[in-house]
Each structure stands twice: as C-alpha cells, then as structure tokens.
Structure 1
C-alpha cells in the first residue's frame, strides 16, 4: 500500500476527502513507516480534510483478522 492508497482508504472510512496525511507530530508523511507504531501495532497520525478540518486517526489490527479505526478532533 502506498501513502496515496492509504489516504484514499481513510477518505472512504471517514466519508469525506482526506487532503493530507501527517505524522503524530504533524510532520509530512514520506513513507507508510512514518505512520507505523509497533505497540500496540498499527498506524496513526494526523490528517487534514479537503475542507480544512484537522483530525487525529488510528488504525490497528485486532485479533489478527480485522482492522479497527478511530478518528478524533485535533485541538491546536
């Protein structure tokens, strides 16, 4: 999976277009490894929707079978 493919997947999960993916610290994402967290295993960071909304997100593997997803509002 590429960063663009993940951005598209997150857009579908949220139901709104994601414009940019950022690391948990707010830095630009170059590769998927920038978003990976080993424990608990999964991916996460910040994102910006096309309308300017800023959000946090987490995507983690549960039970070795299904992916759980959570978003939240990003307060500056």
Structure 2
C-alpha cells in the first residue's frame, strides 16, 4: 500500500504462478496469509483492507516486452 515491494516472482515457463509451483503440469502454490502470520513471503505484514498494485512484465521468446498492471484489495476476516 505504501509503494514497498512485498513479493516478486520470476517464471521461465508459460504458466505463471505468483507463488511458485506449476512446473510439469502441477498446480500453482497458494499463499494463505493466515498460515503465515498474515505476512507476505518476504515477511512484510499484510495491511488488512490495503490496496496493492500488481505489475507483471512479460518477455516473449522474440524479445517483445509487455507490462500489465492492476490494483487489488485484500481483506482478512
């Protein structure tokens, strides 16, 4: 919410999984905040009701680059 990086994931496969997994047809890993003390993988606390920004940059095998952004809110019970 304050512009700090809370998670980054680099994938080299066409199936992108934000928290890893997905290799060889496997399911993507899910990040359940309640199982991780309501923290992101880097240890940053989740801001309940905070608005986050996702930035995804894609690079094709031909070197073309595309970036997509979206904002989302996470609310925990």
Q: TM-score range by the shorter chain?
A: 0.3 to 0.5
Report the structure, 1 or 2, having the larger helix content: 1
So what's the TM-score if we normalise by structure 1?
Answer: 0.38
So what's the TM-score if we normalise by structure 2?
Answer: 0.38
Greater Rg by CA: 2
Report the structure, 1 or 2, having the larger strand content: 1
